[in-house]
Structure 1
Amino acid sequence: MISVRVYTKAKRQLIAAGLSVLMLLATACSASEVENTQAAAPSTKVSQPSAAIQSSKRIPAKVTRVVDGDTMKVSFNEGGKAKEETIRLLLVDTPESVDPEKPVQPFALEASNYAKTMLTGKDVQLELDVSERDKYGRLLCYLYIGDNMFNELLLENGYARVAYIYPPNVKYVDQFREIQKKAQQKALNIWSVENYAQEDGYHEGVVKGGVTPSAKSTTTTTPKPVTTSKPTTTTTSKPSVIYNSCKEANAAGAYQIKKGEPGYSAKLDGDNDGIACE
């Protein structure tokens, strides 16, 4: 009987020891899971860039001159030194007002004047995409004035169309197209003339009579110099030569025509600096 009692007591002790070991293992596993969960949490936060980091990608600058609706000159500091660059707005295109090979296109001066009013002398921010420059060496960017992106403002007001979509610089192309659709529905500016703004550019020939809102003396045919004995508002009373485009003026050997000189006219002075066809 004594041996049976000893055996039973030993068995109970062994079972109790086994249960203790199992409880210790369960506690250890639970603690390990808590530690792993706590260790994983910071990595989730690190993978999300902060707003400060994102905004730091924008370059502070000042607009020193507006060339036309989608092209400007800006200055900014780089390495402690002042630097000036010509910028071209990404994914938008306004009608031409300063191209020596083209007459002033419809709504070109409206777009240019809008840009001058909004940007000249103003502090702005530049956001680059993947490719920094175009084939002309101009800095490609999205331009911000305050909280607004100027590329979007041009589209919103019907001064520009979505164009020059060259990957990889297509970051905002989808939202730009949505903004453009709204301007088209409202028939704003370039969209007020049917078939004027198209996928392949601007077609001034569709404007009635070849007379445009921004260049009323511009025609769709190649004009010839006209000599007149009547004075114009920008010249003296002496006979002068009138050029209907810079291309025509250049063909006649006239370049950088200053205000008051024969051949000068405001429509050829896209940046209103007193010098035409520069």
Structure 2
Amino acid sequence: MAKNVTSSMWKSPAGAAALLLLITIIYFIVAEFPEEDTKKGTEGRIQVDAPAEGLIPVELIRTIDGDTIKIRYQGKEQNVRYLLIDTPETNHPRLGKQPFGDQAKERNRELLSNGEVAVEFDIGQRTDKYGRLLAYVYVSGENVQEKLLEEGLARVGYVYPPSTRHLDRFEQAEKRAKDKGIGIWSIADYATDRGFDSEKAEHAWPFANCRELRAVYPQGVKRGHPAYLERLDGDRDGMACEAS
């Protein structure tokens, strides 16, 4: 019966045109809804956790702050903004110097001085509106962002899909620091979804001078302690208000 109907449709121009239209519609339906590929990550598909180009060795020029560095890449000096993290400011024109900003910068510098530096790009845009490269940064194969998060010197921030390859790992590292209450997490409500609230930090550090601080901490406090302030560390040895 179907064979007879098809044969009869071909016998007239209108019927042939209708049959061709039907075949075309079926073709586009199949193209739009292909059979589900259950072999995710096989050849021809991009894995979420697979490097776009792998690690690219670069020359470190200098550390700018906790989440920005300058490197030599493709023959020229360029700034790199770390993907998926945010650290307190060290010299912002409006926000000034924020608590733990210097610590994050120093730890970033320290980490990068201990091996070969490399960057890894994600599948999203490679530069921001300031022309900085957006990348994951490694030293001797270890991810620097994850280390800063683990030590409570950075928060997860500036998440813009599809550049989210290491987001799960970073959030887990951030949670471990939160649970320990270290670094930026030692000050209640200091780290927020929008950045860092310096007013919260000021209320958390009520010591106006070393006399007040030593009344609570007789031996002084080390850099990294919530009560540490650089202005109370006169000799810049990393110990504020130490007993003489």
Which TM class, normalised by the smaller chain length? 0.5 to 0.7
Aligned to 1:102: 95
What CA distance in whole angstroms lies between the structure 2 residues aligned with 1:63 and 1:119?
8
Task: Name the CA distance, whole Å, in 2 between partners of 1:183 and 1:46.
Answer: 38
What per-residue deviation string (whole Å, max 9, x for no partner) do you get for residues 59-86 of structure 1? Answer: 110211000000000113x3xxx22110
1:167 aligns with 2:161: yes
AA aligned opposite 1:155: L
Following the alignment from structure 2 to structure 1, what is the Cα–Cα distance between the partners of residues 161 and 228? Answer: 33
Q: Tell me the SS of whatever aligns to 1:102.
A: coil
Q: What is residue 59 of structure 2 aligned with on the other side?
A: 62
| Alpha-carbon distance in 2 for matches of 1:206, 1:45 | 49
SS of the counterpart of 1:168?
A: coil
Q: Distance in 2 between matches of 1:121 and 1:181?
A: 26
Deviation at 1:47, TM superposition (A): 5.8
- Match runs of 1:121-160 below 5 Å: 122-129=115-122, 130-160=124-154
Structure 2 residue 184 is matched with structure 1 residue 184? no
Instruction: Report the CA distance shift for 1:120/1:105 in structure 2 as closer, same or farther (over 3 A).
Output: same
Structure 2 stretches lacking a partner, 5+ long = 1-40, 208-225, 236-244
1:153-173 deviation per Cα after TM superposition (whole angstroms, max 9, x unaligned): 110110000001112212221
CA contact 2:205–2:227 (8 Å) conserved in 1: no
Change (3 A) 1:162 1:46: closer
The answer to whether the 8 A contact 1:66-1:112 is kept is yes
| Whole-Å separation in 1 of the counterparts to 2:86 and 2:94 | 17
8 Å contact kept, 2:51–2:121: no
The CA deviation at 1:56 is 4.9
Q: Is the 8 A contact 1:152 1:179 kept in 2?
A: yes
Cα gap change, 1:213 to 1:64, in 2 (>3 Å): farther
- CA 68–168 in structure 1, closer or farther in 2 if over 3 Å, else same: same
Q: Does 1:92 align with 2:92?
A: no
In the TM superposition, what whole-angstrom CA distance separates every residue of 1:205-236 from its partner, at most 9, and x where no partner exists? 11224667565449xxxxxxxxxxxxxx89xx
Give the C-alpha shift of residue 135 in structure 1.
0.6
Superposition deviation, residue 179 in structure 1: 1.1
Structure 2 Cα separation of the partners of residues 121 and 84 of structure 1: 21
Q: Structure 1 counterpart of 2:66, which letter?
A: G
Q: Secondary structure at the match of 2:58?
A: strand
Distance 1:45 1:206 in 2: 49
Contact 1:158 1:183 in 2 (8 A): yes
Matched-pair contact (CA < 8 Å) for 1:69–1:111: yes
The 1-side partners of 2:159 and 2:52 are apart by 24
The answer to whether the aligner puts 1:74 opposite 2:65 as a matched pair is no
Number of residue pairs matched by the alignment: 171
Q: Which residue among 180, 196, 200 is the counterpart of 2:194?
A: 200
> Are the counterparts in 2 of residues 63 and 122 from structure 1 also a CA contact under 8 Å?
no
What letter is aligned with 2:140? G
- TM-score, reference length from structure 2: 0.62
Q: For the structure 1 residues 56 and 174, does the alpha-carbon distance in structure 2 shift closer, same or farther, using more than 3 Å as the test?
A: closer
- In 1, Cα distance between the equivalents of 2:115 and 2:68? 15
State the identity %. Answer: 34
Kept in 1, the 8 Å contact 2:53–2:120? The answer is no
- Look up the SS of the partner of 2:109 in the other structure: helix
RMSD, aligned CA? 2.9
Paired with 1:105 and 1:156, the residues of 2 have a C-alpha distance of 19
In structure 2, how many angstroms separate the alpha carbons of the residues matched to 1:121 and 1:147?
11
Shift of 1:87: 0.1
- Alignment partners' CA distance in 2, 1:146 and 1:97: 26
